Amino acid sequence: MNNYRNIKIAFSYFPAFTEESPNMQKRDFFNTNGTKWIDFLSLRQEIRLTENDPSFSWIAIAKEKDFVKFEDGMTEEEVYLEFKLLTWEAIFPDEVLEEIEIQNLQKWLIENLVADEFVSLRSLRERLKAGNIFHAEIDDFEFLRAYLYREGYSKIILKHKLGTNERFFKLSQPL
C-alpha cells in the first residue's frame, strides 16, 4: 500500500493552528519544490494514484495533518477541492487556467449572474459549454479560482452547504 508521503508533506504545509494565513502557507508551499522536503513531480504521481485507490481518504489525511480548511462534515470531494485551491497552481501549472483566462471567467460570471437568483455551477458550466466560450472544460475548481481572484469575492456571493458538492453563485448587488 502506498503511504502517500508527498501528499502528507503537502498537507503539513497548511496546519490549522498557526499564525500564518493560508496565503502565507501557500507561498511557503510554492517555494518548496525541488527541496529535500517535497518533490512536486512525485507529488503529482501520488495524486494521480489516489484516483484509483479506494483505500485513500482525503478526509483521513486532512484530519491527521490538521488541515487549515478542514471542517467536520466535509465530503472527500470538498477536502480535495480545498487542497487543490491551495496547491494546484504549483503542482499542476499546466492544468490550470492562466491569469487572463481566470480574469475572463470572472468577467463572464459577473456578466451572467444576477443579484436576486442563485445559479448552480452545473448550470453555469452548461452555459459556458453551449456558448463555446472557453477552450477548456471549466470545473468547480476554476469557478472557485475566478470567485477568489482579486476582488471577485466582493462582487459574487458563493452559497455552499457543507457536506454537499453543490455550489451556487449570484451577484452581491445589481450592476
Q: Is there a contact between 29 and 37 (Cβ–Cβ < 8 Å)?
A: no
pLDDT for 136: 64
- Tell me: pLDDT of 175 over 60: no
Q: Extract the C-alpha cell encoding 169.
A: 453563485
pLDDT for 87: 93
With a CB cutoff of 8 Å and minimum separation 6, the contacts of 118 are 157, 159, 168, 169, 170
- Tell me: pLDDT of 1 over 50: no
With a CB cutoff of 8 Å and minimum separation 6, the contacts of 51 are none
Average pLDDT over residues 27-47: 85
Backbone angles phi, psi at 83, to 5 degrees: -65, -45
Q: Extract the C-alpha cell encoding 161.
A: 452547504
pLDDT tens by residue, 24-35: 888 888 888 766
pLDDT tens by residue, 51-76: 999 999 999 999 999 999 999 999 99
CA distance 136 to 134: 5
pLDDT tens by residue, 123-156: 888 888 887 777 667 888 888 888 888 766 678 8
Average pLDDT, the chain: 87
CA distance 108 to 149: 13
The model's pTM is 0.84
**Ordered DSSP codes for 27-69:** HHHHTTBTSSSB-HHHHHHHHHHHTT-TT--HHHHHHHTTBTT
